[in-house]
């Protein structure tokens, strides 16, 4: 196929998928790559990865993603990414009050870890709190009453916002252009019709009527459907809540090095952030959607401030998590509460494909599904593979464009999630409802 390295390429979105793609294209010698981001900063506030940390867990029910994550962890250990990866381990348990689904999900993950020759040597069974304290020295003073599950020493977490900032700096050094704010706020992909087929000619931004491009890559996360409406219900905007406890220097030092600690019926927490001393807490649940009554598709709230809260049910879960692990912190104020919006698919598979009927002029990168960030160091390689394939088609079936009418509008029963999906308007404070 013709050399594409001089093609004008726009990447819409400065989050994880967009920046990883820009990095791989630049390193492959592509000369005219531009990232367009509506925010005035990168990491952007619109990105789910603009966060303290994300779990990097290799065990999946699906061995396909286990193998990919093992490759990603190798990449996390390379010089560019290593400062942002912390292989603290992953303590994965349930409490005595866990639902049947939570217990069964945990068991499937344990079996997945044990079935991997790479992971098996790192897995320690946990039968009770005493076992957990013995297996994890940094948790020796914790309670974890009746918890059971396993501890995987190979897993850990990545500091997501710092990793984004690092790659942003790198792509600028490699010559990638970046447009921020109104200049980077893409309001519409512009098309012309050629022999009955639409072909993208560029984009219209908040400040420019038309910026020309030969290929438009949409990496807009939860906002994908606002630019590619025909994506329909195969990708929906969903959110989980997060909150933090502000620790003192002494408290943070005492918890340094703890593993990602996850009670599947309550939620999970991370090692305190080394700069801010914030302890991040995430409740487990089905998540929240914001369904447009006209289209039936969930999209994030227009106003970012509308998401700066934690629903009461979620707060109860994270306080129970603290009570079980660090009881001295259970009643501390929760700060920096928010809903983190991401792009969800009904099968937890990504979508990395050309949009149909665009003559391969528009590509969509979406379907993070709450587990995509761990792939940040290698995600762009898959985009490069598609771009440079002779067939110009996605050969990995699970990543292909799917039916626009597929999925249950975000209310699908996802095997590894515990809890019901609720509408944003059911939980948002009255003054902030859309």
Residue range(s) defining the domain that contains residue 333: 87-155+236-344+409-434
Question: Is the residue at 82 inside a domain?
Answer: no
3-state secondary structure of 86: strand
Looking at the structure, tell me whether residues 258 and 330 fall in a common domain: yes
Calpha distance 331→324 (Å, rounded): 12
Question: Is the residue at 119 inside a domain?
Answer: yes
Looking at the structure, tell me whether residues 197 and 218 fall in a common domain: yes
pLDDT the model gives residue 197: 87
- pLDDT per residue as tens digits for the range 245-300: 999 999 999 999 999 999 999 999 999 999 999 999 999 999 999 999 988 899 99
Looking at the structure, tell me whether residues 224 and 365 fall in a common domain: yes
Looking at the structure, tell me whether residues 250 and 337 fall in a common domain: yes
pLDDT the model gives residue 411: 57
What element of type H or E holds 151?
Answer: strand 148-152
* Over residues 148-176, mean pLDDT: 98
Question: Is the residue at 381 inside a domain?
Answer: yes
pLDDT the model gives residue 429: 85
Domain CATH for 226: 3.50.50.60
DSSP assignment string, 397-432: GGGS---TT-S-TT----TT--S--EEHHHHS-GGG
Q: Which stretches of 159-214 are assigned E, i.e. beta strand?
A: 177-180, 186-194, 197-205, 211-212
Looking at the structure, tell me whether residues 337 and 427 fall in a common domain: yes
- Res. 18 pLDDT band, cuts 50 70 90: very high
- Res. 434 pLDDT band, cuts 50 70 90: very low
* Over residues 380-401, mean pLDDT: 96
Residue partners of 99: CB distance under 8 A and separation at least 6:
265, 418
Looking at the structure, tell me whether residues 259 and 194 fall in a common domain: no
Looking at the structure, tell me whether residues 326 and 353 fall in a common domain: no
pLDDT the model gives residue 430: 52
Question: Is the residue at 415 inside a domain?
Answer: yes
Find, among 54, 155, 147, 156, the residue nearest to 106 by Cα.
147
Looking at the structure, tell me whether residues 206 and 259 fall in a common domain: no
* Over residues 31-57, mean pLDDT: 97
Question: Is the residue at 101 inside a domain?
Answer: yes
Question: Is the residue at 71 inside a domain?
Answer: no
Question: Is the residue at 208 inside a domain?
Answer: yes
Question: Is the residue at 123 inside a domain?
Answer: yes
Domain CATH for 301: 3.30.9.10
Looking at the structure, tell me whether residues 314 and 351 fall in a common domain: no
- Res. 195 pLDDT band, cuts 50 70 90: confident
- pLDDT per residue as tens digits for the range 213-233: 999 999 999 999 999 999 988
Percent of the chain with pLDDT over 90: 89
3-state secondary structure of 295: coil
- pLDDT per residue as tens digits for the range 66-122: 999 999 999 999 999 999 999 999 999 999 999 999 999 999 999 999 999 999 999
Looking at the structure, tell me whether residues 251 and 327 fall in a common domain: yes
pTM of the complete model: 0.95
- Res. 433 pLDDT band, cuts 50 70 90: very low
Percent of the chain with pLDDT over 70: 95
Looking at the structure, tell me whether residues 339 and 423 fall in a common domain: yes
- Res. 432 pLDDT band, cuts 50 70 90: very low
- Looking at the structure of the chain, the number of domains it has is 2
Q: What is the distance of C-alpha 276 from the center of its chain?
A: 22
Looking at the structure, tell me whether residues 327 and 424 fall in a common domain: yes
């Amino acid at each position: 196929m013709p050399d594409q390295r001089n093609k004008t390429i726009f990447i819409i979105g400065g989050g994880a998928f967009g920046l990883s793609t820009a990095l791989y294209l630049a390193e492959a010698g592509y000369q005219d790559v531009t990232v367009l981001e509506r925010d005035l900063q990168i990491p952007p506030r619109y990105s789910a990865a603009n966060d303290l940390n994300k779990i990097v867990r290799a065990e999946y029910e699906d061995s396909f993603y286990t193998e990919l994550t093992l490759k990603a962890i190798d990449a996390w250990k390379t010089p560019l990414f290593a400062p942002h990866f912390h292989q603290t381990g992953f303590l994965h348990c349930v409490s005595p009050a866990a639902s049947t689904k939570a217990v069964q999900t945990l068991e499937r993950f344990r079996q997945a870890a044990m079935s991997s020759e790479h992971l098996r040597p790192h897995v320690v069974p946990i039968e009770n709190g005493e076992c957990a304290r013995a297996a994890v020295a940094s948790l020796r003073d914790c309670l974890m009453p009746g918890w059971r599950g396993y501890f995987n020493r190979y897993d850990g977490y990545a500091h997501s916002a710092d990793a984004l900032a690092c790659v942003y700096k790198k792509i600028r050094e490699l010559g990638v252009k970046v447009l921020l704010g109104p200049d980077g706020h893409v309001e519409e992909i512009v098309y012309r019709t050629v022999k009955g087929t639409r072909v993208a000619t560029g984009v219209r931004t908040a400040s420019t009527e038309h910026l020309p491009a030969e290929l438009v890559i949409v990496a807009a996360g939860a906002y994908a459907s606002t630019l590619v409406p025909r994506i329909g219900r195969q990708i929906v905007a969903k959110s989980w809540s997060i909150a933090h406890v502000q620790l003192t220097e002494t408290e943070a030092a005492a918890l340094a090095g703890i593993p990602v600690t996850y009670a599947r019926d309550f939620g999970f927490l991370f090692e305190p952030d080394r700069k801010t001393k914030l302890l991040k807490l995430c409740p487990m649940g089905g998540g929240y959607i914001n369904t447009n009554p006209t289209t039936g598709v969930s999209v994030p709230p227009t106003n970012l401030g509308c998401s700066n809260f934690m629903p009461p049910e979620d707060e109860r879960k994270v306080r129970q998590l603290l009570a079980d692990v660090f009881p001295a912190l259970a009643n501390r104020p929760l700060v920096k509460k928010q809903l983190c919006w991401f792009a969800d698919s009904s099968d937890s598979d990504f979508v990395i494909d050309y949009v149909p009927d665009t003559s391969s002029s528009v590509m969509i990168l979406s379907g993070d599904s709450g587990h995509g960030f761990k792939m940040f160091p290698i995600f762009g390689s898959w985009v490069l593979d598609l771009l440079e394939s002779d067939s110009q088609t996605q050969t990995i079936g699970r990543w292909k464009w799917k039916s626009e009418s597929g999925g249950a509008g975000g209310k699908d029963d996802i095997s590894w999630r515990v809890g019901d999906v609720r509408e944003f308007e059911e939980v948002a404070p009255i003054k902030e409802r859309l």
